[in-house]
Structure 1
Amino acid sequence: MDGKGWSTWGEGMAAGLQNGMAIIPYALLKHYRKLNLSGSEAMLLIHLLSFRQVEGIDFPSLEELQAVTGRSIAVIAGELQKLMKEGFISIDEDNDELRDIHYERYNFSGMYTKLGAYLAEAAKEASEDKNAGTAPSREAARFTTGFPVLDGGYGRTAVAVPGKAAEESRSLFSIFEKEFGRPLSPMECETISGWVDQDRYPEELILLALKESVFAGKVHFRYIDRILLEWARNRVKNAEDVKNYTQKFRSGGR
């Protein structure tokens, strides 16, 4: 790049920096999908934060949001309603008595609370993973749901195949609560919903990943999520694929 090019680039950078910078929680960028947010909903939160920090606008209009997102007012309004309904944002109202002005501003405390709760749960699961003991016995892997266990897996791991009757009589949530031995937290319920609604994992595959985690002695959501991601990368979509993949893994092939 010649001297003129560097000058142009530097001037562009300087102009951009003069427009201001917004501080965005990295946890929001990294984990918004785990909070059951779509990419456009997370971006809308980022725009709301940016309006406040850079332009001093606490309550941008739908038209202002449309100008920066390029989406219709109806879509933006629907996303704002969802964010408020699910507790990510709320609206504070106040009056400036000196100027006789009523004003509103977005409150982001719900978003920060949700992010904090997720990070705390993730740290807890990471600690449990680190301190996990030896894997339970093979009989322990058969579960109270009555699912038969097939040989195969990562080393000594086994894969359980759900019976049709059990699948019909139990929801994913009740099966997870049964195997965890406790009620699921709201964040854990959102994670399961994300696997189904956003990641499009078949329920059969989610149950198989749960059984893998139980047999491995690592019954927590981060481990189950890693299993599902590994299977997705290798195009594992059903019980037969799992059986073939684990046999290939055990034999050293890919």
Structure 2
Amino acid sequence: MDSREGNGWAHGLSFGLQSGMAVIPYALLTFYRKLNLTGSETLLLIHLLSFRQVEGKEFPSLEELQAVTGRSASAIAGELQKLIKEGFLRIEAGSDDGLGLHYERYDFSVLYDKLGQYLADQRAAGSAENGKSGQSAGRAAMQPKNGAAAATAGKGIDPAEEETPSLFVVFEREFGRPLSPMEFETIAGWLDQDRYPEELIRLALKESVFAGKVYFRYIDRILLEWSRNRVKNAQDVKAYSQRFRGGS
């Protein structure tokens, strides 16, 4: 290596280091499989941590996550939903009274709690039993987790799944902008808490577009009204609409 090559390498390394460094929990890198996380889900968590620490972005958009991962918005949105549903991420909202600003961000404390609990359980298990029986039990306990992780990883790269836009992507397309953290959480709540079928949410969004009222409160009212009238699928929606609009 001549002096010019050495200087070029040194300048490149210097620039890279000055661009910023993120602190990643070593336990996450070591034990993510034990927590039933796939490699892509773990990398997504790492990117979210990096956005916060290096760029100061508390809630990066799907487009920004696409740029650093090279994956589809549908796949990223699906993984974010799973991470929130299974308690690896949480969305926090609040306000700074001094500055008069409202903020929304990802909360990683639930991730740290899971890592801490796993390490504590491992230490307790190691203290209680350190023989062959303990090792056999550990291997047996891990098999279903690995199977579940493999199944999840398989779904993550399923071409059919990649071709179908997720709800989050569909909403962003209709709204013409990235979703806010609270809007993201609202959609996740419709799916996970209210148990609305995804088909029904898509139809409610379509109804709001036709009505020229594309905002979340209106869509939520549609879903609530349909739920009260036992509207559960596209056929029910059609029958309900005909009944109240005087159609045949």
- Please give the range of the TM-score, normalised by the shorter of the 2 chains: 0.5 to 0.7
Q: Which amino acid aligns with 1:23?
A: V
Greater C-alpha radius of gyration: 1
Matches within 5 A, 1:1-254: 1-97=1-97, 101-130=101-130, 132=131, 191-198=142-149
Taking the aligned partners of 2:101 and 2:54, their CA distance within structure 1 comes to 23
Contact 2:36 2:146 in 1 (8 A): no
Deviation at 1:194, TM superposition (A): 1.6
Taking the aligned partners of 1:39 and 1:113, their CA distance within structure 2 comes to 20
Contact 1:36 1:190 in 2 (8 A): no
The verdict on how the C-alpha distance between 1:98 and 1:113 changes in structure 2, with shifts beyond 3 A counting, is closer
Taking the aligned partners of 2:102 and 2:142, their CA distance within structure 1 comes to 39
User: Which position in structure 2 is the counterpart of 1:239?
Assistant: none
Contact 1:36 1:191 in 2 (8 A): no
Taking the aligned partners of 2:77 and 2:100, their CA distance within structure 1 comes to 28
Taking the aligned partners of 1:100 and 1:189, their CA distance within structure 2 comes to 54
Contact 1:90 1:107 in 2 (8 A): yes
Q: Secondary structure at the match of 1:103?
A: strand
Taking the aligned partners of 1:67 and 1:48, their CA distance within structure 2 comes to 13
The verdict on how the C-alpha distance between 1:55 and 1:189 changes in structure 2, with shifts beyond 3 A counting, is farther
Structure 1 segments unaligned to the other structure (5+ residues) = 136-156, 158-175, 181-187, 201-254
Q: Secondary structure at the match of 2:126?
A: helix
Deviation at 1:128, TM superposition (A): 2.9
- Deviations along 1:22-63, one digit per CA (max 9) or x if unpaired, are 000000001101000000000000001001100111111111
What percent identity do the matched residue pairs reach? 54
Taking the aligned partners of 2:72 and 2:66, their CA distance within structure 1 comes to 6
Q: Secondary structure at the match of 1:198?
A: helix
Structure 2 segments unaligned to the other structure (5+ residues) = 152-248
Deviation at 1:107, TM superposition (A): 0.2
Deviation at 1:96, TM superposition (A): 4.1
User: Which position in structure 2 is the counterpart of 1:171?
Assistant: none
Q: Secondary structure at the match of 1:95?
A: strand
Q: Which amino acid aligns with 2:72?
A: S
Taking the aligned partners of 2:8 and 2:105, their CA distance within structure 1 comes to 39
Using the size of structure 1 for normalisation, the TM-score is 0.53
User: Which position in structure 1 is the counterpart of 2:173?
Assistant: none
